[in-house]
Amino acid sequence: MTTPATESHLRRLPKVELHCHVEGAARATTILELAARHGVSLPSVDPDELFAFTDLNQFLSIYDVICASLRTADDFHRIAYEACEDGVAAGVRYREMFFSPGFVIRLGVPVQTVWEGVSAGVRDANHDLDIECRLILDFDKPTGPAHALEMVDVAARLDRDLLLGIGADSVERGIDHRAFAAAFAAAAHEGLHRTIHAGEDGPADNIAAAVHELGCERVDHGFRLLDDPELTAEIVDRRIPLTVCPTSNVVIANVVPDVASHPLAEQRRRGVLATVNSDDPGMMRADLADEYVAVAAAYGYPLEEMEQISLDGIEASWLPDDGKAALRSRFVAEFAALRAEHGLPARR
């Protein structure tokens, strides 16, 4: 027997999030305030309008405004802390969050300032709130392989209690993903975990490059994976996780008209460890709880499957084995308490 997943139950379900950008998690109200303080001109001073976009180009121009509004360590502290607060409100208990210094470095903000603020914001949130957040330094692919190597050098010197690894984001078109092999090899040599945005609006071949030539342990998005059945079988066999962001693929990459048409359900049916994530919850004005609600509605998933998606996030994380076991026990206990509270039968 299966149990329907109600919206209020899904909102409170404990969750893991592995694909969330701190800049994209910024609140519109905070960006309005910071932009005013730093004299950055905005396309709109209405918080409801500021983050309105209908395609990737508009999304990227808002992303530029956000980055231009972040100047001091305090600014980065604030958006990191608030991103964790908003995560907690969506039931996120554990998150590996991206920060992408490449964009603000170009505007003259030193990478040390970014790290000082983001790391302090996350450390304070971990102390004050019911969340454990870790960080992933994302380099910007279009800036090229030399920038990637530089970012790996920076990452290698940061506090490993907070920084788990490196990633790579931004557009795929016109990018030779194999050109980042040296950067990812250097990251592996430094003992850093590795992931990359691939197969989002680019081909499955970028996913193949990620796992065969870049040594990535995870793939962000992986929307096009099923185009390559052999690669799909390998990803299933090796339990290489995808950090899927269905709503983002609808509203940012525009690669699919709605969540129901997204390949997530088919990926999971074939045994892919495909997790559910929000990507840019502030900019999209949809957090991880909204994403769970959208996924359950789109595929008719019962509560059991949504609980399994939550547990899959733990498996896909870069927590050590004992950390995964502890989080799994906690989640299972919380699932039981939530079910009891809703008068539902115990999970089998």
Given the DSSP bridges, would you call strands 218-221 and 132-140 parallel, antiparallel or unpaired? Answer: unpaired
200 is catalytic: yes
Which is closer to Zn ion, CB of 112 or CB of 254?
A: 254
Binding to Zn ion (CB under 5 A) within 48-107 occurs at: none
Catalytic hit among 82, 200, 291, 307: 200
Candidates 251, 308, 261, 289; CA nearest to 52 is 251
Tell me the residue ranges of DSSP E strands in the chain.
15-17, 92-99, 132-140, 163-169, 193-198, 218-221, 242-244, 274-276
- In angstroms, what is the minimal distance from the CB of 342 to Zn ion? 33
- Binding range to Zn ion, per CB under 5 A, among 73-81, 84-92, 272-280, 311-319: 272-280
Under rule CB under 5 A, residue 279 binds Zn ion:
yes
Question: Candidates 123-131, 152-160, 205-213, 278-286 — which segment interacts with Zn ion by CB under 5 A?
Answer: 278-286
Segment lying near Zn ion (by CB under 5 A), choices 145-153, 263-271, 279-287, 316-324? 279-287
CB of 21 to Zn ion, least distance (A): 6
Q: Nearest approach, Cβ of 2 to Zn ion (angstroms)?
A: 32
State the Cα–Cα distance between residues 259 and 291, nearest whole angstrom: 9
- Applying CB under 5 A, what is the total number of residues that bind Zn ion? 1
What are the E-state strand segments in 127-264?
A: 132-140, 163-169, 193-198, 218-221, 242-244
Q: Which residues pair with 167 in a beta bridge?
A: 138
Token digits of residue 198: 């691939």
3-class secondary structure, 202: coil
Q: How far is the CB of 278 from Zn ion (least distance, A)?
A: 9
- Contact of 93 with 330, CB cutoff 8 Å: yes
Question: Looking at beta carbons, which residue is closest to Zn ion?
Answer: 279
Identity of the residue, 136 or 293, whose beta carbon is nearer to Zn ion in the bound complex? 136
Measured from the CB atom, the residue of 73 and 316 that comes closer to Zn ion is 316
Q: Cα–Cα distance between 23 and 66 in angstroms, integer?
A: 7
Residue 138 CB, nearest distance to Zn ion (Å)? Answer: 8
Alpha helix segments (H runs only) across 101-260: 101-105, 111-128, 145-156, 181-189, 204-212, 229-237, 246-251
CB of 20 to Zn ion, least distance (A): 8
Interface residues for Zn ion in 101-130 (CB under 5 A)?
none
Nearer to Zn ion, 201 or 279 (CB): 279
Taking the least distance from each CB to Zn ion, the nearer of 5 and 80 is 80
- From 202-210, 233-241, 271-279, 311-319, give the range in contact with Zn ion by CB under 5 A: 271-279
Nearer to Zn ion among residue 42 and residue 256 (C-beta): 256
Q: Is 291 in the site for Zn ion (CB under 5 A)?
A: no
Give the C-alpha separation, 244 to 202, whole Å: 15
How long, in residues, is the chain? 348
Q: Which is nearer to Zn ion, 82 or 279 (CB)?
A: 279
Per the CB < 8 A criterion, the answer to whether 211 and 259 are in contact is: no
Dist CA 301 CA 295 (whole Å): 7
Minimum CB–partner distance for residue 162 and Zn ion (Å): 20
How many other β-carbons are positioned within 10 Å of the β-carbon of residue 75?
25
Could you tell me the CA-to-CA distances from 271 to 153, 210, 233, 302 in Å, in that order?
36, 19, 9, 18
Question: Which positions are catalytic?
Answer: 200
Instruction: Name the residues that contact Zn ion, by CB under 5 A.
Output: 279
